[in-house]
Amino acid sequence: MIDINLIRTQPELVRENIRKKFQERKLPLVDEALSLDARRRALTQEGDNLRAGRNALSKQIGMLMREKKTEEAEKVKAQVNADAERLVKIEKEEGEVSEQLKKVMMAIPNIISPETPIGRDDTENVEGRRFLEPKVPDFEVPYHLDILEKLAGIDIDSARRTSGQGFYYLTGDVARLHSAVLAYARDFMIGKGFTYCIPPFMIRSDVVSGVMSFEEMDGMMYKIEGEDLYLIGTSEHSMIGRFMGQTIDESKLPLTLTSYSPCFRKEKGAHGIEERGIYRIHQFEKQEMIVICKPEESAEWYEKMWRYTVELFVSMGIPVRTLECCSGDLADLKYRSVDVEAWSPRQKKYFEVGSCSNLTDAQARRLNIRYKSGKGTAFAHTLNNTVVAPPRMLIAFVENHLRADGSVGIPEVLWPYMGGTKEIVPKK
């Protein structure tokens, strides 16, 4: 949610930002916000005047009563009662207008970064840098499910019977590899100075509406029937929600946190063989990083965060590249975002394995997360980034470390987490 002062003082800037995101349908929201804001301010002023006048009238009544001017005192009392009734109506309308304004403001997208390329959708995202040379082996790389099944590491059929489409069982050494990568990612981030957290895996609706737009909520979140609880789609949701309504002392910033959680997503609209298997699923696990900082620090943290993900993948011998998200591909709360994509030797192209986002103060305004300094209080900036999400990471891992005999090599950084196991060999 952007600052209402920006709409008051630079409405055309806000409109142009909406156009850059190709959301012309939202242009009327700017005028609607200005109208509601003007009405709210008028009601606030009228209410303040009535409250101030009430004190003066009360003193007048006392003076008139002492002077035995009863009839005049009764007229003033009647005015006080009328003002009190009007004040009740004003406060009610002010609350209703404020709620309408909040709803409109939450639908207006955050101002995007000057570095963000302008484009309609993800097909217009712009490649940044590549890390490690992508290679294609001189033997055929099978579909990732076929690789995992030959390693006796996955059971999709049983998961369909127990849970339906979009679920899986991981077994044996592949399941151990999955956990090993998460543990390695956890320790990697702790080594970068981040504090490890395990958050709640369910959050209330006021947190959900604070961390994402309404469109995202509908497309991602699973609601617990009969309760005001949602399953998290990423630990960012509950990690940022942890600071809702808080004012953090400046000396404690930046807050640098890394969190583990399962993630639950509807994943609507997945198509094609490459998006089946374990590419798009309803339940997975992830190591995340979250930073809450002062506004002047967020650009620097944004650069650090995506580089940590790149460093992690490179340390496991997986080639990656960065992809700058264009304006039309940015979620409404995002100021800037970059995807980290891993190389697929089978597809001979890169695919997304993580995303780093700077949301400036958009989330903080929704959740009222502030920090206190010698100059007073201000809204903090929030950032989030995927450290690693093993389902997609597993695809990149087995494809890039597959050998001609069907075995999969384990990079040295993971040996301690695999009990010294250096390879996974086919069982079928």
* Each residue's pLDDT tens digit, 142-174: 999 999 999 999 999 999 999 998 899 999 999
Residue 270 has pLDDT above 70, yes or no: no
Q: Looking at the structure, do residues 11 and 129 belong to the same domain, yes or no?
A: no
On the question of a cis peptide bond just before residue 199, with omega within 30 degrees of 0, the verdict is: no
Tell me if 283 is assigned to some domain. yes
Task: Specify the 3-state DSSP secondary structure of 45.
Answer: helix
**For position 293, what pLDDT does the model report?**
98
Residue 237 and residue 200 in contact, taking contact as beta carbons nearer than 8 Å = no
Q: Looking at the structure, do residues 155 and 90 belong to the same domain, yes or no?
A: no
Positive or negative: CA dihedral 214, 218, 223, 226: positive
Enclosing domain of residue 325? 122-424
**For position 180, what pLDDT does the model report?**
98
Q: How far apart are CA 93 and CA 122, in angstroms?
A: 43
Q: How far apart are CA 399 and CA 404, in angstroms?
A: 11
The DSSP H or E segment spanning 349 is strand 349-358
For 410, phi then psi, to 5°, come to: -105, 125
Q: Looking at the structure, do residues 164 and 89 belong to the same domain, yes or no?
A: no
Residue 273 has pLDDT above 70, yes or no: no
pLDDT in tens, 105-136: 999 999 999 999 999 999 999 999 999 999 99
Q: Looking at the structure, do residues 244 and 162 belong to the same domain, yes or no?
A: yes
The mean per-residue pLDDT over the stretch 70-85 comes to: 81
**For position 269, what pLDDT does the model report?**
55
Tell me if 217 is assigned to some domain. yes
What is the maximum alpha-carbon separation in the chain? Answer: 108
Q: Where are the alpha helices (DSSP H) in 67-155?
A: 70-107, 144-150
Query: In this structure, how many other beta carbons lie within 10 angstroms of the beta carbon of residue 118?
Result: 13
Tell me if 200 is assigned to some domain. yes
The residue with tokens 């959708």 is 121
Tell me if 117 is assigned to some domain. no
The residue with tokens 């303040």 is 48
Which of 47, 73, 107 represents a domain boundary (last residue)?
107
Helix 298-315 and helix 172-191, axial crossing angle in degrees, nearest 10: 140
Q: Looking at the structure, do residues 136 and 16 belong to the same domain, yes or no?
A: no
pLDDT in tens, 85-107: 889 999 999 999 999 999 999 99
DSSP 191: H
pLDDT in tens, 337-394: 999 999 999 999 999 999 999 999 999 999 999 999 999 999 999 999 999 998 899 9
Tokens, residue 262:
């399962």
Residue 416 has pLDDT above 60, yes or no: yes
Query: In this structure, how many other beta carbons lie within 10 angstroms of the beta carbon of residue 52?
Result: 10
Question: What residues contact residue 196 under an 8 Å CB cut-off, 6+ apart?
Answer: 186, 189, 190, 257, 258, 259, 260
pLDDT in tens, 306-340: 999 999 999 999 999 999 999 999 999 999 999 99
Which of 84, 107, 130 represents a domain boundary (last residue)?
107
Tell me if 78 is assigned to some domain. yes
Residue 213 and residue 23 in contact, taking contact as beta carbons nearer than 8 Å = no
Tallying the residues shown for the chain, one arrives at 428
Prediction pTM value: 0.90
Tokens, residue 113:
């970064």
Q: Looking at the structure, do residues 149 and 183 belong to the same domain, yes or no?
A: yes
Least confident of 10-24, 78-92, 178-192: 78-92
Q: Looking at the structure, do residues 219 and 361 belong to the same domain, yes or no?
A: yes
**For position 56, what pLDDT does the model report?**
76
Percent of the chain residues past pLDDT 70, beyond the cut: 97
Query: In this structure, how many other beta carbons lie within 10 angstroms of the beta carbon of residue 307?
Result: 16
DSSP 282: S
**For position 73, what pLDDT does the model report?**
79
Query: In this structure, how many other beta carbons lie within 10 angstroms of the beta carbon of residue 235?
Result: 27
Q: Where are the alpha helices (DSSP H) in 192-297?
A: 205-211, 214-220, 235-241
Q: Looking at the structure, do residues 401 and 258 belong to the same domain, yes or no?
A: yes
**For position 271, what pLDDT does the model report?**
44
- Where is mean pLDDT largest: 57-66, 276-285, 350-359? 350-359
**For position 214, what pLDDT does the model report?**
67
The DSSP H or E segment spanning 239 is helix 235-241
Residue 154 and residue 387 in contact, taking contact as beta carbons nearer than 8 Å = no
Tell me if 115 is assigned to some domain. no
Q: Looking at the structure, do residues 8 and 137 belong to the same domain, yes or no?
A: no
For 240, phi then psi, to 5°, come to: -70, -40
User: What is the count of structural domains for the chain?
Assistant: 2
Residue 335 and residue 109 in contact, taking contact as beta carbons nearer than 8 Å = no
Which of 107, 135, 156 represents a domain boundary (last residue)?
107
Q: Looking at the structure, do residues 100 and 165 belong to the same domain, yes or no?
A: no
Tell me if 19 is assigned to some domain. yes
Q: 221 - beta bridge partners?
A: none
Q: How many helices (H) and strands (E) does the chain have?
A: 13, 18
**For position 58, what pLDDT does the model report?**
72
Q: Looking at the structure, do residues 224 and 78 belong to the same domain, yes or no?
A: no
Tell me if 335 is assigned to some domain. yes
Q: How far apart are CA 11 and CA 22, in angstroms?
A: 17
CATH number of the domain encompassing residue 101 = 1.10.287.40
Q: Looking at the structure, do residues 213 and 290 belong to the same domain, yes or no?
A: yes
For 208, phi then psi, to 5°, come to: -55, -50
Alpha-carbon Rg for the chain, nearest whole angstrom, is 28
CATH number of the domain encompassing residue 146 = 3.30.930.10
